[in-house]
Amino acid sequence: MTNALPSRGVVLLPRDTRDTLFLLAVIAWVVALQAAHIPPWTTALTGAVLAWRAWLALKAQPLPGWPWRAGLLVIALAGTWLTHGTLLGQHAGVTLVVVLLALKTLELRARRDAFVVFFLGFFALLTHFFYSQTLLTAAGILVALLGLLTAVVNAHMPVGRPSLAQAARIAGGMALLGAPIMLALFLLFPRMAPLWGVPNDGMGTSGLSEEMRVGDIAELALDDSIALRVRFDGRPPPSGLIYFRGPVLSQFDGRQWQPLESGFPGNLRLRSELRPGGEPVSYEVTMEPNRRRWLFVLEAATTAPELPGNRVRMTDELQWVTQRPIGSLVRYRAQSHLDFGHGPLQTSLGLQDHLQLPPGFNPRTMALAQELRRTHGAGPEHARALVDAALDRLRTGGYVYTLEPGVYGQHTADEFWFDRKRGFCEHIASAFVVLMRAMDIPARVVTGYQGGEMNGVDGYWTVRQRDAHAWTEVWLQGEGWVRVDPTGAVFPGRVGSVLRLQAPTGAVAGVLQAAISPNLMALLRANWEALNNVWNQWVLNYTQDSQFNLLRSLGVASPSWQDLALVLLAVVVAVSLAGAAWALWERQRHDPWIRLLRGARKRLRALGVISSERTPPRELAQQLRTRFAADPAAQALAHWLLRLEAQRYAPHSPLTLAELRRDYRRLAWPTRRAT
């Protein structure tokens, strides 16, 4: 039953009900953090179970019997199997852990059951890092951790009705006491790549793909998440020269572009033949995980980025790829020459791969190619004039750069050049390469990121998914592969500035934009992203090299795993000894009243007044008055002992320990032992 407080209109729940509801709220928070990564039916089922359990607690109803629990377990197992096709693995395992955590609350009868729920909750917290390691995720997990610790502390306080605030203060103190050990383990526990980190068996996250279907990159323009951050050693280059090279696509089936699968033997295929020029640009890249095997660097990188435990190489198309997919945040340095040439300077048999077009597609584009060749000439010596003519058509032909070009049909190039005249960067690049190949000019599509923006708070250059871009390369005799960005001919603001097409905003976003100053929003966003960058640099990207650098700063000339282990052991032992000393000191000072009485008892023992820890001050005073009847000092001491007892046990005593401690120091003690 509940006890009502009519004066305040507050209902005081029984302690068991209050504690159960608090624990259910913490579990609901844990599940809510995981909602974006588990199937919708899992969130619905766990929500229903937690709501049912809360209703049972409020109404003081008995818990459901085993048939109910067994039925729900069967439903959970069947749903997991139908969703994931297995009961094992990362995703299926996380689903089952979340469901079992909720189902366990239906048999929450004793403290033992509560402990099982606590530890299931701690395990469920760890699974969040399978999917996200951002600062926001860490903050949410910290709140859940403190909630679970509060519930654990509260379960160890069975007597009375301690407040949740008191349990929370104790839990917070425990977390702070454990922080030094946690910090030592974070700094010194060996990072054993690739075992260290979060396993991934999932599909790629948002970002570029190694295939480009006309219209795909337009979807990325709606994604404002960060792809990579760059810190230049000096002044950043002009935005119009910032091209982060990704997959190069040379094979076209009429609708989709894919990497080249050449039929030529190895000795006839094209080589990179990189010819750097000018001064290099040095920079450091922090790249978000993309579950792909490529690294993004500025065109054209001349030094291989270094990743611990992962080999990196450059392909013949100037794309840098890794041995294993990038499943976690990585940081690497690179050096690029923005003025460069590459590819063969004279006609090569391997260039035939970049002239192939599927038969039966885009007949009007083929006719346009013939018309341009008749007007400007044919052959390698006229290739530059043909490229300029195509770009001039894009500038003056009424073409529009847009996020909503409509759905293209079978003849994508024909529709762009003659019908729609509307497209995003991949529509323009694809149609341009088709036209070039139709004029016997080798050409290919290059995807990656172009441009970005400077964060004025931390000085990092930020590249977002909406900066994803597709441009082209054409081969010109005597020059090799030359970058041509046809999107710049249609919409010059896309290249060389931070101007981007904006996705349509919803009603809520529109209201917020109208209510909040754009400058304030930009400032808040820049500060938040700078804070996230600090988290990325110092926490997520704390690698084995960082550990060795820490040891070098401590004076270890050539650090190794053995040095890490020894330093970690020394730190753990030192912290443990400090904790033991603190516990011993705390034990001695846990009650100032007892400390004061213990000091008096020790001095009385020297006078022959023998007592135990259980002897009250009143009995000590009586012994003094009996044994030192004629000694005024003993009588004053006996009076002080009675005042000490009154301070502790008398109701509404005006005495304070500070007064008693001061009077104790002023007492005159007997100089002879009792007879």
Q: Which of 243, 225, 231, 337 is nearest to 290 (CA)?
A: 225
Where are the extended beta strands (E) located within 291-398?
A: 294-295, 297-298, 312-314, 320-322, 330-336, 339-341
Q: Which of 128, 535, 91 is nearest to 329 (CA)?
A: 535
What is the DSSP secondary structure assignment for residue 501, as one 8-state letter? P
Q: How many angstroms separate the CA atoms of 465 and 207, rounded?
A: 6
Q: Is 411 a catalytic residue?
A: no
Q: Is 425 a catalytic residue?
A: yes
Q: How many angstroms separate the CA atoms of 21 and 66, rounded?
A: 22
For 337, list phi and psi in degrees, rounded to 5: -105, 110
Q: Which of 19, 425, 458, 467 is catalytic?
A: 425
Q: Which of 497, 661, 522, 674 is nearest to 595 (CA)?
A: 661
DSSP assignments along 174-196, one per residue: HHHHHHHHHHHHHHHS---TTTS
Q: How many angstroms separate the CA atoms of 70 and 150, rounded?
A: 30
Q: How far is CA 432 from the centre of its chain?
A: 39
Type of residue found at 8: R
Peptide bond into 300 cis (omega under 30): yes
- Helices assigned H by DSSP within 205-293: 216-220
Can you read off the two tokens belonging to residue 34?
A: 């995981």
Q: Which of 84, 354, 411, 469 is catalytic?
A: 469
Q: How many angstroms separate the CA atoms of 424 and 221, rounded?
A: 9
Match 């023992």 to its residue by tokens: 605
Q: Which helix (H) or strand (E) holds 4?
A: strand 3-5
Q: How far is CA 105 from the centre of its chain?
A: 30
Residues sharing a CB contact under 8 Å with residue 172, sequence separation 6 or more, in sequence order: 146, 149
Q: How many angstroms separate the CA atoms of 507 and 488, rounded?
A: 32
Q: Is 469 a catalytic residue?
A: yes
Q: Which of 19, 216, 485, 631 is catalytic?
A: 485
- Helices assigned H by DSSP within 378-479: 383-396, 412-414, 425-438
Residues sharing a CB contact under 8 Å with residue 393, sequence separation 6 or more, in sequence order: none
Q: Could you list the active site residues?
A: 425, 469, 485
